[in-house]
Amino acid sequence: MCGIVGYIGDGNAYNVLVGGLHRLEYRGYDSAGIALVDNTGKLNIYKTKGKVNSLEAFCKDKNTESKIGIAHTRWATHGEPSDYNAHPHFSEDGNLALVHNGTIENYKVLKEALIEHGCHFHSETDTEVLVQLIEYIRVHNDCSMLEAVREALKQVVGAYAIAVIEKGDPDCIVAARKSSPLVVGVGDNEFFLASDASPFVEFTDNVVYLKDEEIVLIRRGEPLKLYSLDNKENEIDVRKLEMSISQLEKGGYPHFMLKEIFEQPSTLHDCIRGRVVNDGKYITLNGVNDNKETFMSARRIIFVACGTSWHSALIGKYLIQDMCRIPVEVEYASEFRYSHPVLTPHDIVIAISQSGETADTLAAIKIARGMGAFVYGISNVVGSSIPRETHSGTYIHVGPEIGVASTKAFTGQVMVLTMLALTIAELKNTMPKEDIERIAQWTLRMPELVEKVLGLAPDIERLSLIYTYARNFLYLGRGYSYPVALEGALKLKEISYIHAEGYPAAEMKHGPIALIDAEMPSVIIAPKDHLYEKIVSNVQQVKARGGNIIAIVTEGDDEIRKIADHVLEVPEVPECLTPIITSVPLQLLSYYIAINKGKDVDMPRNLAKSVTVE
Ligand code: F6R
């Protein structure tokens, strides 16, 4: 949540930082700010409520000359979005400026102590407490900023990624992280710092991912220095960045979300590449074959995830139970962590997270590890925290997902889960070899079939006009289509702000059926699978109550066509692969409805891409 950028070098810091903030805006966009030290040693801090564009407008007539600076785009946790709560925050004497991503849990105690020592505060944020504390320590201990940061962080309970600059030392940035991401870009005579590498991908591909409780000293003209909180010098591990600038641009699409929906044929291809090989005869997934015994002897699998990733996990449950005959539970990471979970070393916990940074999922992983379970991670962002915290895992390889509403990550996760289930089934011999091979061959066809589904876009755009002003939607599905219904409803809610409920179709008659009337459309996911006849009767039940029906059906389905008001036909695929095919029209439907309503689909209100706070 919140994005941090820092720069030190010979270039124009303002331009680098503002460009970087635009790239990080997906992380939060309720206010933005920048701190720069000019060549006279003056610390200029500019911040405004609103998006990065508002900050740029605000800075138009300001002095933005500088070769060092830090900047921030905010997703509010403590204190409403406002100019004064925006970052950077500064020490009372105006010597330090600091940006922060995360939450300082003990900020109230620290604040009270500082007030007793005569400090005055200008904001309601936990962040201001941190910068005042660092300066207080620096002045009272007569120490360097690096030492003061270290001492202050020892007193802090919570999560942080921070960057600090000092008026009197325009050649240095001190930064640190704990449970919130931070990466340093190492260029020629310049350094970059950011919550992820996207702000500096065009400047350098040499990166250093900070570890938890690591402090970095970035000094102009000198090599980086990394320290632990107890002041041991750590080794610098410079990695090569796997990200290209074109992945971060809209590539001619009006929105990242639409680009990412249309990218799915190629992201699915990337996701499968090198994993389903030899025409489906061989499947290999990182971290599974090298932990064969663990997967073969697992007594139970527990998924932990949030939001869209939780919906993928639910599909994972169907896949693993069907193919591997292992009992599976699916938990919201936020509930799991406080539910006194009962785990044993015979359990495998699988954490799914696009960002690899979701705080609740990370906390669930720590609990699971602590209880002796084997933890496997499925994430998208290389170098993020979850792959580091798990025993083993794999990436979905769908490239940076920038639209706040997850689309290509969802289909990538489901594809990885399919390959995971097939791999375990093969190890455990729970499925005939020819069935495994047949499904593996179908996975190879998914890019082409999703491409075909995308051809429905013009029809869906027209259809969206009919339902743009509906106030409520019901999404129904059974079996593998039930999580798809949940996901379809979430997509609509988050970008169009229309209330939508996903429900298991058969459960509808136990309550939600009372809501059905001509005003409330039902989207029914009804591909030809082993529950097809059952869902046909659910379609009839909705129709009998005067409801309007949009049905997602398999090509050539005449039965539902006769009952539903609108049908969207998708290609026939094996049942376990239907979620990948049926979720795509739902992504498009929510996109077009939101566009018709004039909503900002890439930055929906109150949301942010990665939720690094509880
Ligand atoms: C919805 C969406 C969120 C995320 C959730 C978990 O479109 O994007 O619901 O799925 O915040 O995020 P990750 O997968 O990064 O852990």
* 609 in active site: yes
* 232 in active site: no
Helix (H), strand (E) at residue 282: strand 282-283
Nearest-angstrom CA–CA distance, 294 and 202: 42
Nearest-angstrom CA–CA distance, 444 and 277: 9
Separation of CA 353 and ligand 1 centre (Å) = 7
Confidence of residue 248 (pLDDT cuts 50, 70, 90): confident
Structural domains in the chain, sorted by start: 3-247 (3.60.20.10), 250-453 (3.40.50.10490), 455-604 (3.40.50.10490)
Q: Whose CA is nearest to atom 4 of ligand 1?
A: 307
Report the Cα 580 to chain-centroid distance in Å.
19
pLDDT digit string, tens, across residues 487-506: 999 999 999 999 999 999 99
Per-residue pLDDT, averaged over 113-138, amounts to 93
Q: Among 576, 572, 486, which Cα is nearest to 523's?
A: 486
| Residue 405 CA, closest ligand 1 atom number | 7
Percent of the chain whose predicted confidence (pLDDT) is above 70: 100
Q: What is the mean pLDDT of the chain?
A: 94
Per-residue pLDDT, averaged over 16-31, amounts to 90
* Per-residue pLDDT at 205: 94
Separation of CA 307 and ligand 1 centre (Å) = 5
Per-residue pLDDT, averaged over 81-90, amounts to 88
What is the C-alpha radius of gyration for the chain, rounded to an integer number of angstroms?
25
Q: Whose CA is nearest to atom 16 of ligand 1?
A: 353
pLDDT digit string, tens, across residues 547-592: 999 999 999 999 999 999 999 999 999 999 999 999 999 999 999 9
* Per-residue pLDDT at 224: 96
Separation of CA 79 and ligand 1 centre (Å) = 23
Confidence of residue 84 (pLDDT cuts 50, 70, 90): confident
Give the three-class secondary structure for 320.
helix
**Set 2, 59, 306, 576: catalytic member:** 2
Please report the DSSP string for 491-533 in residue order.
HHHHHH--EEEEEEGGGGGGTGGGG-STTS-EEEEE-SSTTHH
pLDDT digit string, tens, across residues 310-361: 999 999 999 999 999 999 999 999 999 889 999 999 999 999 999 999 999 9
Q: Whose CA is nearest to atom 8 of ligand 1?
A: 406
Separation of CA 204 and ligand 1 centre (Å) = 28
Confidence of residue 279 (pLDDT cuts 50, 70, 90): confident
The answer, yes or no, to whether residue 383 has pLDDT greater than 90, is no
| Residue 355 CA, closest ligand 1 atom number | 15
Separation of CA 410 and ligand 1 centre (Å) = 9
Backbone φ and ψ for 233, nearest 5 degrees, come out as -80, 130
Per-residue pLDDT, averaged over 292-304, amounts to 96
Q: Whose CA is nearest to atom 10 of ligand 1?
A: 308
Name every protein residue with a CB atom under 6 angstroms from any ligand 1 atom. Answer: 306-309, 353-355, 358, 361, 405-406, 490, 494, 610-611
